[in-house]
A and B are shown apart, each in its own frame.
Chain A
Amino acid sequence: MRNLALVTAALVLVGPFAARAADKPAVDPAKVDAAVIAAFPTAPPEWHSRFVQDETMKECSLHENSPPKAVADAIQKRERARIEYPADGKLVGDWKEGEKLAQSGYGLRFTDYPPRRVNGGNCYACHQLTKAEVSYGTIGPSLLGYGKVRNFSEADTKAVYEKIYDAQAAYPCSNMPRFGANKVLTVDQIKDLVALVMSPESPVNK
């Protein structure tokens, strides 16, 4: 909330339509909201929060994921403030559990209610991680050997935790979900994913 003033200032400076080039079609945001809600006529009331965008979503949508510097800085500052760290200060969990989470795309989809399992991270959908798993996506960069090439450093371990918790704290308008900030994954699950990426024993680094 303390960033609200800053964001408001940024909004006033940039203006809601200023970012759009002249050749881009303009459309009333209220009309867009209405069209999206109308597309899900059977959505139960508890899903309606999904149609509401937070400030970061609004900015990234408006700027088509290429925000001007002032907006990017504001997003980064706001998202950084949302990162919560484990109470015991330990950032590395169990890579074997992390591998399971990386494989699982379960959770929060319309067909996943009521929940039957814990949410997954679905990392392989977008990232290459291990040599063994050949079915991986390429929307995100390959993470093969990620920890090894960084000498398993403490600073990089912390950075990985933060990127999984809230990718937009590192890269404003990143395509990657804000797993911790949006409560898709728990702190313990994120620690297991940090282990998958950063442990010397993990197949990611073999």
Chain B
Amino acid sequence: MRARRVILALTCCVWAATVQTACAQESIGQDNIGQDSTEKAIEKYRHMLSDDPWSNPGLLDVDRGESLWKTPAGPNKVSLETCDLGKGAGVVDGAFAELPRYFADADRVMDLETRLLWCMEKLQGFKHADLIKNPYPRGGQPTKDLGAIAVYIANKSSGMTFAAKLDKPKEKEAVALGHAIFFRRQGPHDFACAACHGESGKRIRLQGLPHLTKPALISSKAPRAEKSQLRG
């Protein structure tokens, strides 16, 4: 835990330094203030993270997730190592890159977290209702166990391209529903997923936004720029 704090603090320093760089750049050429300098500074921060993989606090969750995956747990006292993520029982390499997919045993389409919950329920004997209680960490709290396991699995597809086939009837149905929900605007701010994730190269404040309708390389090593908290 101590190591985690140190790494988090270091990451914050990197972030602060990057922002200061942006400030310095802004003050140099008053007439030349563009959005480019900020983008360059953020790019530098990303490089600092990728140049030294050990600087990324997300890896701590990868390790914790691996240990959770391999440790017997639940009323049945078994590990998740026989969980079938779609490529056969226990196969984790490249499994995330092919999710979501249709699982015949559940007769439904599942993404990684849904499948992990299924295995925790069916293999380890946990109760579904208990598993989905308070699913997200509160601000400043560590990633939940499910999140850590998911990050471990995702990291086993690091560098691969998303390649879910989605050609079975139930998969096609799920794609159609997801497509409509992605563009569905609602609520007091009129927002849909597409408002922020429908174009490349956009940011909220300093946070870069993935363009979610474009398949991308998988990198589970991308903590949010401003919070140093892992997002899968």
A29–B35 Cα gap in the complex (Å)? 39
Please tell me if the beta carbons of A182 and B189 are within 8 angstroms of each other in the complex: yes
Secondary structure at the A interface, as helix, strand, loop or mixed, is loop
Size of chain A's interface in residues, with CB distance under 8 A? 39
Interchain CA distance A25-B198 in the complex, whole Å:
18
Q: Is B194 a contact of A131 with CB atoms below 8 Å? A: no
The interface size bin for chain B is: 35 or more
Q: Which residues of B contact A29 (CB under 8 A)?
A: 180
Contact present for A61 and B172 (CB under 8 Å): no
Kindly state whether residue B186 has any CB partner on chain A within 8 Å.
yes
Using Cβ atoms and an 8 Å threshold, which residues of chain A touch B30?
A: 131
Main secondary structure of the interface of B (DSSP, over half): mixed
Interface string of B193-220 (1 = CB under 8 A from A): 0111011011111110100000000000
- Are B177 and A65 interface neighbours, CB within 8 A? no
Residues A36 and B184 in contact, CB atoms below 8 Å apart: yes
Interface membership of B175, Cβ < 8 A: yes
Q: A139–B202 contact, CB under 8 A?
A: yes
- Judge if B188 is at the interface, Cβ distance under 8 Å: yes
Interface 9-mer from A7-15, A120-128, A189-197: A120-128
The answer, among A26, A32, A182, for a CB contact under 8 Å with B190, is A182
- Which residues of chain B have C-beta atoms less than 8 A from A153's C-beta? none
Closest to A126 in B: B204
B140 interfacial by beta-carbon distance below 8 Å: no
Q: Nearest Cβ in chain B — how far from A23, in angstroms? A: 11
Footprint of B on A, CB under 8 Å? 24-27, 29, 31-32, 35-36, 50-53, 56-57, 60-61, 64-65, 108, 124-126, 128, 131, 134-139, 142, 144, 175, 177-178, 182-184
CB pairs A–B below 8 angstroms (6 shown) = A24-B179, A50-B188, A61-B192, A131-B30, A135-B205, A139-B202
Binding site for A on B (CB under 8 A): 19, 22-23, 26, 30, 33, 35, 38, 172-173, 175-177, 179-181, 183-192, 194-196, 198-199, 201-207, 209, 226
